[in-house]
Chain A
Amino acid sequence: EPEVTQTPSHQVTQMGQEVILRCVPISNHLYFYWYRQILGQKVEFLVSFYNNEISEKSEIFDDQFSVERPDGSNFTLKIRSTKLEDSAMYFCATGQDNQPQHFGDGTRLSIL
């Protein structure tokens, strides 16, 4: 079964640094998402992306965050000037029409 692949699995970064989280979607999927799960809390929606533009974003997704699909395959989440509260597990998900979203295994981001 095709999978969503995320890299790295764990990223440790100093506060204030920029990080880029990468996702390789399932090949025929058109809808892409990033979600976040702070330790012990629920999974929260960050942003959805379709047809090379943001479809919807949550209030969490402020100017510190950006997404792009630079080469038609990778889907990236960039966090500029990271803060301690950005520490979380970040999940990429991809989907097709009304079918369920498929999730990657996540990137654990630790901000020191």
Chain B
Amino acid sequence: AQSVTQLDSQVPVFEEAPVELRCNYSSSVSVYLFWYVQYPNQGLQLLLKYLSGSTLVKGINGFEAEFNKSQTSFHLRKPSVHISDTAEYFCAVRGMGGYNKLIFGAGTRLAVHP
């Protein structure tokens, strides 16, 4: 079984400041890791994914995340945020195999202030 912990329910930040959204997971098997973003009244959009290879992965909108197997973490970072980045961010894990379900964290609400 897998589980995901997002350590911050809300992260307020000023525009153009850097941000890190934290995610830790637990699993007895190897997993794939994902970050999804949800804008108000919209669905879930994939930001980035870690399937294999380089532990630093880059996604859309200038976001990146680093997979740390020893710390079972997959923190999301952006060096300079915009007002438009205000949204809910979900970390998710999935066992390897085509039909495996996603297990989501509780989400982190990023609020970017001018």
In Å, the complex CA distance between A78 and B90 comes to 27
Determine which of B32, B34, B97, B103 lies in contact with A45 in the assembled complex, contact meaning CB atoms within 8 Å: B103
In Å, the complex CA distance between A30 and B98 comes to 9
A104 at interface by CB-CB < 8 Å: yes
Determine which of A6, A43, A98 lies in contact with B97 in the assembled complex, contact meaning CB atoms within 8 Å: A98
| Interface bin, chain B | 20 to 34
A42-B107, A43-B104, A98-B51 given as contacts; is B44 within 8 A of A48 (CB)? no
Interface string of B89-114 (1 = CB under 8 A from A): 01010101111111111110000000
A-B pairs with CB below 8 Å: how many? 60
- Within 8 Å CB of B105, what residues of A? 42
B72 at interface by CB-CB < 8 Å: no
A91-B43, A100-B49 given as contacts; is B101 within 8 A of A50 (CB)? no
- Within 8 Å CB of A97, what residues of B? 98
Number of interface residues of A (CB under 8 A): 28
Q: A100 to B90, Cβ gap below 8 A?
A: no
- Within 8 Å CB of A93, what residues of B? 44, 102
Determine which of B45, B98, B106, B107 lies in contact with A50 in the assembled complex, contact meaning CB atoms within 8 Å: B98
- Within 8 Å CB of A91, what residues of B? 43-44
- Within 8 Å CB of B102, what residues of A? 33, 35, 43, 45, 93, 101
Q: Which residues of B does A touch, CB under 8 Å?
A: 32, 34, 36, 42-46, 49, 51, 90, 92, 94, 96-107
Q: List 5 A-B contacts (CB under 8 A).
A: A31-B99, A42-B105, A98-B98, A100-B32, A104-B43
Q: Which residues of A does B touch, CB under 8 Å?
A: 6, 30-31, 33, 35, 41-45, 48, 50, 55-56, 58, 91, 93, 95-98, 100-106
